[in-house]
Structure 1
Amino acid sequence: MPLLTVELFPGRTPEKKRELIQALTDTYLQVCGGKAQAVTILLKEVDPADWGVGGRSYADIIAENKAQN
């Protein structure tokens, strides 16, 4: 039973999450085959303050980008 885990920032609507789950399932089945009932998708929302790149948190990067615009 495959498990696909996607980590993303919060903010998507339940409808968008359902759409993403369906699209990921469909793509997995097209590439790897199998049955939809066997594919598990796990969406994990991560606060931007808990996600960093280049020594900086995304919360800081987002705030900086907002200040520049």
Structure 2
Amino acid sequence: MPLIDVSIAEGRSPEQLRDLVSALHRAAEESVGALPENTTVIIREVPTSHWSKANQTIAERQAAAQAAPLTHATPVETAAE
């Protein structure tokens, strides 16, 4: 009787969470032969302000990323005549 307990940062759509539940059920069936009726999946959505790594919350990282200027542009070279 597998119990699959997942913590995930909030922000996924109901469809994405449903897809995750289905994929976890399939993984339990395929990997250990668990019967679907014996498999329990719990998804715990954690607010991004309550989840941190390296002393910075996900919310803080997201805010910093939005505030940072884009630096992916490459200057166009012009040919000298």
- The TM-score with structure 1 as length reference comes to 0.89
Structure 1, unpaired ranges of 5+: none
Structure 2, unpaired ranges of 5+: 71-81
Per residue, is there more helix in 1 or in 2? Answer: 1
Aligned pairs, how many? Answer: 69
> Bigger relative contact order, structure 1 or 2, given CA contacts below 8 A and separation 6+?
1
Is the CA contact (8 Å cut-off) linking 2:2 and 2:34 kept in structure 1? no
Structure with higher Rg: it is: 2
CA distance, structure 1, for counterparts of residue 18 and residue 55 of structure 2: 33
Percent same amino acid among aligned pairs?
A: 29
- The TM-score with structure 2 as length reference comes to 0.77
- Report runs of 4+ in structure 1 exceeding 6 Å deviation: none
CA RMSD of aligned residues (A): 1.2
